[in-house]
Structure 1
Amino acid sequence: MLRNTQGRHSLIASGLRRGVTYLRLHQVASGVKRYSEAPTYEMRRRRRQMSGPPRADNRPPYARMASYYRDLISSGQLAPGDLLPSIKKLADLWEVSTATADRAMRLLRDEKLVQGIPGVGTEVLARPISLSSGAERHDRSGRTQSSWGVGETSSGHAAEVTEAPEDVAAVLDISPGARVIRRSRVYRDGHGIVAHSTSWIPAEFAAVLPELARSERLTGGLSLDLIARATGRRVATRVDEESSRIATGDDLALLGQPPETVAAILVLTAQFMDADGNLLEYGVDLGAPGRTRRTVSEVLE
């Protein structure tokens, strides 16, 4: 939702002119609009005196412009919903042609950092969602009864009892071709596909939970939650692994990518075992090209 409606105006302008790096237009309580300026040319000049001469930036103007706004978005100074100046205003601020300004914005659009809205301008998008591990989705389901992250949805739910491929059979400790439940879904956010996720579940659970083999989204939690309630067998141990590879043709099809795409992808696998060490589920997530995995941890003193 845009932030310049209902009395919440936000216009971000930036450039190389003396005095102002960027301006933010606020609507204050009195109804009077004011600009807050930061940082000024003089402040930048003093910083340079203290830190030594700056290194030359030989990038073309459009690349410098894109980099500047990319940094503002990454740092949070430009938040989702904020509007960037018009192409004409950008061209004036940076003293470049409108074609150069448009090229800079097009680069940010290609990176899914902003989107153009006809008649409105260029809006900052929310950051792409980080890939979640199997353990993270399992923990999230315990709290919310859903594996979705904030801003995430799932679609394309499919399930069947099928023959186990060789690599899956090795993990489940069954013979290749033995019967196994396969469930799959696609996770998405506002930027597109986050990951294609497949769950491989021992076929024995289909007898007590026939919904595991139905092509529909489960209700009441993950398959592991349903298994725990129906059988009493709960997850006691989880093993997460992360690797990368060049996407295969099958990977590209699952991730909705053109077949000629050449890209590296993250592959996240998760094994969930009960208290006796027996496997309850084996999950495989394929991250879409360009997706990253971000973790935050606390430092214990």
Structure 2
Amino acid sequence: MPELDRTPPYLQVVQELRRRIVDGELADGDRLPSVRQIAEEWQIAQATAMKALAALRADGLAESVVGVGTVVRSQRTLHRSAADRLDRALRTGKIYPEDEYAVIKAAELAPAPAWVADLLGIEEGAQAIRRHRVTHNANGPVSASVSWFSPDLVESVPSLLMADRIPGGTPSAIEAGTGRRAVNAVEEASAVFRANSAQAEDLGISVGDPVYVGRNVYSDTNGEILEVGESIAPEGRWKIHRTA
């Protein structure tokens, strides 16, 4: 039986089921445990179990299907954050769940913009490694992102400059090449922007459509920055935060 702590029981159930959905353990269309199953597994009242499933429906992660129960509905609503992906990579060795994949649109040396240069400790406009990817699921583009890396990694992590998917993600490639392990992710979010032509092409939307913009920083055990990135997601996708 899962252990309960001082967090309200229904929230603990919600957090655990959210984790399974974000990780891809529960895929789109999978049936969630019934009210009775949840009540028995966590030893809570059925009313509390009902409240947990209602919270997942309110988050846009599930819906009720007559004759079936509550099923996962996340392909059109969920925006997996950079922190989610790092967490999954550290625990499973894979950065993407089974229902998602990335298309690498560019892997190159390019002039670093000012905010990237400041974080990487290089001069603005100096060459840095740039990887541009678009993440897809069965419904099409989910998000697009550009990650930047220090030019010092050119020789030790050559895969960063190859336009091929890295199964364990860029953190695993960096760890394999340098021994430095990404253990922390910090994310920032901005107000909604309007998609420019390049962003619209990536996401399959119209120029001027609203997009969510976020920035992330991965750092190692010494607090040294390994990767900085910027991502966009189309309107209607939600990033789910959870506490341990």
Same fold, TM-score > 0.5, yes or no: yes
- Higher-RCO chain (CA-CA 8 Å, sequence separation at least 6): 2
Alpha-carbon offset, residue 282 of structure 1:
0.4
Distance 1:296 1:272, change over 3 A: closer
Aligned to 2:65: 78
The 10-residue stretch of structure 1 (195-204 or 285-294) with the greater mean CA deviation from structure 2: 285-294
Aligned to 1:152: 100
Alpha-carbon offset, residue 242 of structure 1:
2.0
Q: Distance in 1 between matches of 2:77 and 2:170?
A: 23
Q: Does the 8 A contact of 2:144 with 2:231 survive in 1?
A: yes
Any residues of structure 2 matched to 1:113-132 within 5 Å, and which? 127-132=75-80
Asked if 1:280 corresponds to 2:219, the answer is: no
Distance 1:272 1:248, change over 3 A: same
The 10-residue stretch of structure 1 (157-166 or 243-252) with the greater mean CA deviation from structure 2: 243-252
Please give the TM-score of this superposition, normalised by the length of structure 1. Answer: 0.53
Alpha-carbon offset, residue 74 of structure 1:
7.5
Please give the TM-score of this superposition, normalised by the length of structure 2. Answer: 0.65
Distance 1:174 1:233, change over 3 A: same
Aligned to 1:230: 177
Q: Does the 8 A contact of 2:62 with 2:74 survive in 1?
A: no
Q: Distance in 2 between matches of 1:156 and 1:178?
A: 22
Cα offsets for 1:104-160 (capped at 9, x unmatched): xxxxxxxxxxxxxxxxxxxx9765251122121011112333221352222244211
Aligned residue type for 1:175: E
Q: Distance in 2 between matches of 1:75 and 1:139?
A: 22
Q: Does the 8 A contact of 2:193 with 2:213 survive in 1?
A: no
Aligned to 1:271: 217
Q: Distance in 2 between matches of 1:125 and 1:235?
A: 31
Distance 1:126 1:201, change over 3 A: closer
Aligned to 1:161: 109
Aligned residue type for 1:263: D
Any residues of structure 2 matched to 1:1-301 within 5 Å, and which? 76-78=63-65, 127-219=75-167, 221-249=168-196, 250-259=198-207, 262-297=208-243
Aligned residue type for 2:65: L
Q: Distance in 1 between matches of 2:95 and 2:185?
A: 16
Q: Does the 8 A contact of 2:188 with 2:214 survive in 1?
A: yes
Alpha-carbon offset, residue 175 of structure 1:
1.1
Aligned to 2:47: none
Aligned to 1:86: none
Q: Distance in 1 between matches of 2:127 and 2:62?
A: 50
Alpha-carbon offset, residue 200 of structure 1:
0.5
Alpha-carbon offset, residue 238 of structure 1:
2.5
Distance 1:253 1:244, change over 3 A: farther
Q: Does the 8 A contact of 1:244 with 1:264 survive in 2?
A: no
Distance 1:229 1:175, change over 3 A: same
Alpha-carbon offset, residue 267 of structure 1:
1.6
Alpha-carbon offset, residue 208 of structure 1:
1.1
- The secondary structure found in structure 2 opposite 1:141 is helix
Q: Does the 8 A contact of 1:157 with 1:215 survive in 2?
A: yes
Aligned residue type for 2:179: G
- The secondary structure found in structure 1 opposite 2:64 is coil
Structure possessing the higher radius of gyration over alpha carbons: 1
Aligned residue type for 1:207: E
- The secondary structure found in structure 2 opposite 1:240 is strand
State, as a whole percentage, how many aligned pairs show the same letter.
29
